[in-house]
A and B are shown apart, each in its own frame.
Chain A
């Protein structure tokens, strides 16, 4: 059960910027409903690959989420559409002499199936994975892997093959995304109060969206995966900002999410508020890039659990990439300073729009005021005496914090 009421006094004093930033994150992340859907689809895909008629029947081992899905940091792929990429690893028992090309081709055939079957026409064979496209915009990327015998848990080889490009050499690449995910989660434990609050906001938002779409898909009562740390939410916001930035830079490879995740985990849990965490993480990532560039090198980062798994194997491609991203982060920090200096939501709105997109920024601002206007069991009109602060974070709670006072019902009049 969500226990946000236990932390009511702490949440009542939450800085308005933190409330708004958290709400932006709620609106750009994979919703709890879609999270459940992704889990269900992952299970269905695993069963499908292993069906009797499949080329891989009897060869499918573990199928599990990796990347953003594994650490709860998924954000929409593009700025204007709610489309998400869900990454899965599929451990396979391969045949002798299996090449990277054959592994990916066979996986593709196994998923695509026969003409007219459920995934026919909805798949694409890529360089390291097979993508399944769903009508609601969700993409499932299934990466085939072979367990490396005698190595730490789930350390594996993944396969690189791009037959349409003769210059691209086939390869087996060492990876341990599971180990990385566990390392990341260990370094970014959820803050008790903020985690409960974020889960509740995520579920509230999911219910409102379901109502708006007349969606019969049930919203879960709780989703522990959404009791996130400020570090994870800062990562989601930075990824969102990066997506928007690179939406406008066609043809440029964007900095990989796993690199950003590594940086966030390395610097997590050193701040008090979400705003501070976001600024701190942006500064830290910028320093990492500049640090490499100062000594004339490309940034090189290894998976802390598996040194052979290089997280920067595809980016940066050259020093210009890391210099540009460092400059981008500098501009981001200037916007954050402006956000801090903004006194009113009207001043904050254009900054939030530039950073995170018009729709989530406007929805967050609107939601900030809308929920205070809704009468609740504790009465409307919660105010913190002395300052007159409106404790937005506790609007709608069934229990009023002791530091606030509920004013009697009233009706604004005049015109």
Chain B
């Protein structure tokens, strides 16, 4: 599924949140950074947006956009009590900068066809607001839903063993490809190839051409249709 273009998103972000700057637009994704002040403290927030799907076989559900707080550093134990901040996804490559979880991926609350300036940014301001409430009181007043977490990452036990094995191999491969393409753990070659104006050696594969718009596939999610999203976590995948 193709979301709103980077230009379309940027236009509305500039209109409603002119303090946000487009730091980079590499076609496949874009990064904005700016400040939000829900109470009195200013937070520098970074958003990474992917307007397109990357894999013909898989659709990325809630990783189309990621939001981190760059300053001040939130960390994983901001209250000093051993508690994680509420409603985050751990960021394996940058643990002190967890990704904020602003909407339920099991619903249609957000997708790339919605304006970031009307949804993600105000929701981020609200997250920061309730984060301050949690810091002051230990309570989260913004509601929300916590997924059911498995004790360990595993597919549903009722799957056929052969199907389960195929699923595991495909999910593992897709995960690693995703990580490389989104630069969470990308190779220099891939990063260079994905950047505009780059001139990779001819013997390098043209990765950009591999990611032209593709029709939606019936098997669309690494969080397979046969598995409810809340059973799986990015951290669980990476721990596997």
Contacts and interface: CB of A to CB of B under 8 A. Distances in A.
Query: Do chains A and B interact in one complex?
Result: yes
7 smallest CB-CB distances across A and B, nearest first, come from: A414-B101, A412-B144, A388-B36, A369-B133, A388-B125, A407-B122, A383-B122
Contacts of A365: 133, 136-137
Nearest to A368: B133
A386 B19 contact: yes
B144 to A, nearest CB: 3
A413 B17 contact: no
Contacts of A343: 40-41
A345 B102 contact: no
Interface residues of B, number: 55
A158 B38 CA distance: 54
B88 interface: yes
A409 B132 CA distance: 20
Contacts of A381: 122-123, 126
Nearest to A20: B39
A409 B103 CA distance: 9
> B interface, by DSSP: helix, strand, loop or mixed?
loop
A111 B205 CA distance: 99
B87 interface: yes
Nearest to A349: B136
A412 B142 contact: yes
A348 B41 CA distance: 12
A412 B103 CA distance: 5
Contacts of B105: 413
A390 B118 contact: no
Nearest to B19: A386
Interface stretch (B145-153, B178-186, B194-202): B145-153
Contacts of A415: 84, 86-88, 146-147, 149
Given A386-B17, A407-B122, A412 B147 contact: no
B36 to A, nearest CB: 3
Nearest to A371: B141
Interface string A1-18: 000000000000000110
A303 B168 CA distance: 86
A410 interface: yes
**Which has the most chain A C-beta neighbours within 10 Å: B40, B125, B137, B145?**
B40
Interface in B104-120: 104-105, 107, 109-110, 114, 117-119
